[in-house]
A and B are shown apart, each in its own frame.
Chain A
Amino acid sequence: MAKISMIVNGNPVSANVDPRTLLVQFLRENLRLTGTHVGCDTSQCGACVVHLDGKAVKSCTTLAVMADGHEVKTIEGLAPDGAPLHPMQEAFREHHGLQCGFCTPGMIMTAIDIVHRKGHDLSDHIIREELEGNLCRCTGYQNIVQSIAAGAKAMANSDLA
């Protein structure tokens, strides 16, 4: 077993884990943060995307021990319980950027990462290129792209990063 400690959504957490525990397993099974999903389990679909030290990573391809001492943010950490949604979440709601919703947490975490790297004024082309690692089997992406463009603009006027 390995002792790990990290900050998850602003809260310090510690646990003893088998070294082969994936970060996504640790989040879902130890911390019961089930907003992060396992889709393909082969680092292709992006349903498991979380932020590790502020950067989007695939938590199904990251060992929990490798996140030891680092900071993790999941979909649950975007806006406090009961408070208004994060502007990117709100944009997905407003523009119906989902159907079944399974890919949505990963889409939103990736979308926010795109804004951090590429700014608030995103062309459809940039968004589609940047979504290469996130698969959606329902929407055909059109509304997801619209949601991200709108969410990126809304984030410029928000305190939530």
Chain B
Amino acid sequence: MYEFKYHRPATVRQAANLLVKNEDAKLIAGGHTLVPVMKQRLASPPHLVDLSHVEGLDAIEIKGRSLVIGATATHNAVATSAVVGEAIPALAELAGQIGDPAVRHKGTIGGSLANNDPTADYPAAVLALGATVVTNKRRLKAEEFFQGMFSTALESDEIITKVMFPLPKKAAYVKFRNQASRYALVGVFVAKRPSDVRLAVTGAGSDGVFRVTVFEEALKKRFSHKVLDGLTVSAEGLNSDLHGSAEYRAHLIAVLARRAVEAANAKA
């Protein structure tokens, strides 16, 4: 790991000022992505701005018809939160499948979204639930926020403060794990929302998380796994590596989509 200067702001405003003042500064909260890549010298920020001491940035609450999760809420906090378990149980289950218990004690939702790893779990939930990512500057719809693998709409001095999830009628997440890394080889999040159905896929796309509109339209007519019979996803644009070919991932998407719809219906 290369040298850096460490900053510990008490407020989001202070953190934003530090980002403006120090070029190439990086935010850190749980550090469970950034520290490993700094160790490998894949990242070498000259300044680290630690958000973990900003009070209240990890709050989890219901506001109106939305579940609002603060940026520094850990995966463990989301997985075990009674508020999340009541409002969107699928989201609690998703958080409980990230990494391992020790990783979940440190990793945060804001960090995961800002990194936008193509195999991360949270992007599928944010896109399928039609969540809004709130920053110190503006509100970004999920579709605007994700900009392809490891890339987001965030500007260099922009900080995620919270994520607002509109409450769905039904939802479920099903993940097929890479046997070694435990990351999603493919993960499918389906949400039956008051006005439509959205189905998002992580792990498979070479451009990061994406929606499968063919499945969504069929499910909007009738929310049953049976309507997915015969529907497939093209292997074009999907990842192909030693863990699985693009064709295999395309097959998994169809299988997991059925399972996710079944799981969502079983919950209701």
Chain A residues within 8 Å of B, Cβ to Cβ: 2, 18-20, 22, 41-43, 46, 49, 52, 55-58, 61-63, 65-66, 110, 113-114, 117, 130, 132-134
Contacts and interface: CB of A to CB of B under 8 A. Distances in A.
B72 to A, nearest CB: 12
A66 B30 CA distance: 9
Interface in B16-72: 28, 31-32, 35-36, 38-39, 48, 50, 52
Interface of B: 1-6, 8, 28, 31-32, 35-36, 38-39, 48, 50, 52, 76, 99-103, 105-106, 182
B105 A56 contact: yes
A10 to B, nearest CB: 21
Contacts of A132: 100-101, 182
Contacts of B1: 20
Nearest to A42: B36
13 contacts: A18-B3, A22-B35, A43-B36, A43-B103, A46-B100, A49-B102, A55-B105, A58-B103, A61-B35, A62-B31, A65-B6, A110-B101, A113-B101
Contact of B103 (A22, A52, A133): A133
B36 A19 contact: no
Among A2, A18, A56, A110, the most chain B Cβ lie within 10 Å of the Cβ of A56
Contact of B102 (A41, A56, A65): A56
A22 B36 CA distance: 11
Nearest to B48: A19
Given A62-B106, A132-B182, 14 more contacts: A19-B6, A20-B3, A42-B39, A43-B102, A55-B105, A61-B31, A61-B36, A61-B103, A62-B35, A63-B6, A63-B31, A113-B101, A133-B99, A133-B101
A58 B102 contact: yes
Nearest to A114: B101
B44 to A, nearest CB: 10
Contacts of A117: 101
A55 B79 CA distance: 15
Give me the 4 closest cross-chain CB pairs, A-B, nearest first: A133-B100, A19-B6, A132-B100, A55-B105
Contacts of B5: 19
Among B1, B31, B52, B100, the most chain A Cβ lie within 10 Å of the Cβ of B100
A20 B1 CA distance: 7
A63 B35 contact: yes
Nearest to B29: A66
Nearest to A46: B102
Contacts of A133: 99-103
Nearest to A17: B6
Nearest to B100: A133
A57 B4 contact: no
A66 B101 contact: no
Contacts of A20: 1-4, 38
A83 to B, nearest CB: 27
Nearest to B2: A20
Contacts of A110: 101-102
